[in-house]
Amino acid sequence: MTDVLFHRVSDMQVVLLQRGGVYRQTEVYSRMVGGELSLFAKAAGGFVMLAADGGTSSPTVSWIDLHNPGGYPVSKGTFGRPVLG
C-alpha cells in the first residue's frame, strides 16, 4: 500500500486557474513541502503548486482566485506561497 501524497482540502474549496486565456475551476489539495502544508491544484492530469502572486509551478499556468468558504486558515509561507495554517 502506498501513502497518499496529496490530500483534498475541502469539497467546497476551489481555485480558478488560467492557461492561454482559458479559465478553469478545479479542486484544491495540500501536501507537506519543507515543513509547510503547501497548496496545489489539479491541472492537466497532474498537480501544480500555487506560488506567490498568482504564479504556479508551471510557467504556463497561473491562478486567479482561491475560494475558501470553509474558512481554512490560509497564510503566506516560505517565498510567499499560500499554505494551510
53: three-class secondary structure by DSSP: helix
Question: Which cell numbers hold the place of 68?
Answer: 475558501
- The answer to whether residue 2 is domain-embedded is no
- The answer to whether residue 52 is domain-embedded is yes
Query: 26: domain range?
Result: 7-84
pLDDT tens figures, 23-77? 999 999 999 998 999 999 999 889 999 998 899 999 999 999 998 887 888 899 9
Q: Return the pLDDT at 12.
A: 72
Q: Cα angle at 10 between 58 and 57, to 5 degrees?
A: 10
- The answer to whether residue 33 is domain-embedded is yes
- The model's pTM is 0.87
Q: Return the pLDDT at 79.
A: 86
Please, are residues 26 and 39 in contact by the beta-carbon 8 Å criterion?
A: no
d(CA 72, CA 26): 17
Domain count across the chain: 1
d(CA 9, CA 72): 9
- The answer to whether residue 30 is domain-embedded is yes
pLDDT band at 10 (very low <50, low <70, confident <90, very high): confident
